Amino acid sequence: MNIEMKKRTHRFVQSGMYILLDINSGAVHVVDKMIYDIMEYFDGSNDSEVIAALKDSYIEQELSEAIGELHELMEINQLFAPDISVPPTFKSKGLVKSLCFMTAHDCNMRCKYCFGDTGEYGGERQLMSKEVGRAAVEFIINNSGQRKHCEIDFFGGEPLINMPLVKDVTEYVRKREKETGKIFKLTLTTNGLALNDANIKWLNDNNISLVLSTDGRKETHDNMRPDAGGNPTYDRIMANFRKCVDSRNGENYYMRGTYTADNLDFTKDVEAMADAGFDILSMEPVVLKDSPYALTEDKLPEIFAEYDRLTDFYMKRHREGKGFFFFHFNMDLSNGPCVAKRLAGCGAGHEYYAVAANGDLYPCHQFVGRDRYKLGDVFKGVENEELPQYFRESHVLNKEKCRDCWAKFFCSGGCHANADLFNNDIRIPYDVGCEIQKKRLECALAVQAALNLEQAEHKAPDFISCLE
């Protein structure tokens, strides 16, 4: 068979479904076992070879019929769709669309897995000044071209310990929106300790989206996320989150957690969040090197099995009418991003920058403190011209490991900072991250397939039993 054609599809079994993904069209087909087996051999032009290989397992006439259906998909470009090259819509230079403010290089928690050295980012504890904050707003306005939507994420450390800066920048942004016609989406990521009544009211009044960090079960959370004095924090932050989310009618927030080698049964942590009454959730794999909490290759089978459990749990709650939104399973298979966006990926270093508390610019928040990635500052702008171009061109079609990977148009090549951390090269992806990402994507595709089929249940063919 023609191996090049085989590289254009990915088949897998997930949650009782046989799924065939056509990589270059994005078509997702739920198929029967016969088609699944046929795809081991079929390359679009070797019908008799396929029949010869499978005639002991299936009736020849049925094999021919099934292969006929595959030819029908080929005719409408939903099987073996042609490879995608860099389109003209992917401009050679990116427009800045998003900034991450390192509002405070300091934190009131001491999470054991913190990539930012509990806020210091390899430097000193420091708060961002209003001058830096306002200059950063001007930087994004001046470098976003015709783009109307701009984003700022107040990040840290813990941004709530520098509320004067958050308030000043927000006020300044609203003024500049009126003057420039830009629309800013503002987000703040918080650990919840300083989420008092006054802060909650102000965040609601100013339409700030919130990302709320907790790790799920009380024991998981308290083990990993003590305060600066070493005390447990779960009861305090959950009371604050409850009050906060209720006060914004359960909207405009995400609750996110991190799982480590210590809680590979993280479905129970997602369940704990859902049972606590929160329904917009995310649970992320920790990224650590040389740590007892690290997710290493030997743990992958256990992690994969846990994603199977999470998928089952997600669908069970959905079918019980108690569904929740889980970020990684959220996917619009028909209206996803364009090819240009899938190449641009996260945009780090060309569309997205992080502003350190002192005003230095880095490709993203994860790179802050890695000296060789300093690109300039908010006062003088980006002075390093080579690195942003290198980031722009480090897309999936230029990375050897990504080029032939079935997941490339979903993950867009993964996290550059993780690639740099593990391989000292943003073009060599972080292996364990890739494996987790691919499993998560298979689960997401299965969830979306099941949800789509449930909607069209009356016309689902007999071979689909996953919905029973």
Q: Which is nearer to other proteins, 12 or 327 (CB)?
A: 327
Residue 198 Cβ vs other proteins, minimum distance, rounded to whole Å:
26
Q: Which is nearer to other proteins, 30 or 375 (CB)?
A: 30
Q: Which is nearer to other proteins, 30 or 132 (CB)?
A: 30
The dihedral sign for the CA sequence 237, 369, 129, 100: negative
Q: Which is nearer to other proteins, 34 or 163 (CB)?
A: 34
Residue 2 Cβ vs other proteins, minimum distance, rounded to whole Å:
20
Residue 19 Cβ vs other proteins, minimum distance, rounded to whole Å:
9
Q: Which is nearer to other proteins, 13 or 201 (CB)?
A: 13
- DSSP structural state of residue 242: H
Residue 455 Cβ vs other proteins, minimum distance, rounded to whole Å:
10
The C-alpha atoms of residue 227 and residue 110 are separated, in whole angstroms, by 6
C-beta neighbour count of 408 within 10 angstroms? 23
Residue 63 Cβ vs other proteins, minimum distance, rounded to whole Å:
10
Comparing C-alpha atoms, which of 118, 108, 130 is closest to residue 359? 130
User: Which two three-digit tokens encode residue 397?
Assistant: 């079609």
433 phi and psi, to 5 degrees?
-60, -45
Q: Is 209 exposed, middle or buried (0-12, 13-18, 19+ CB in 10 A)?
A: middle
- DSSP structural state of residue 190: E
Residue 456 Cβ vs other proteins, minimum distance, rounded to whole Å:
8
The C-alpha atoms of residue 300 and residue 114 are separated, in whole angstroms, by 22
Q: Which is nearer to other proteins, 164 or 325 (CB)?
A: 325
Bridge partner list, 352: 98, 348
Q: Where are the beta strands (DSSP E) in 321-390?
A: 325-326, 352-355, 360-362, 376-377, 381-382
- Bond from prior residue into 157 cis (ω within 30 degrees of 0): yes
Q: Which is nearer to other proteins, 110 or 129 (CB)?
A: 110
Bridge partner list, 20: 11, 29
User: Which two three-digit tokens encode residue 278?
Assistant: 């929160």
Residue 197 Cβ vs other proteins, minimum distance, rounded to whole Å:
26
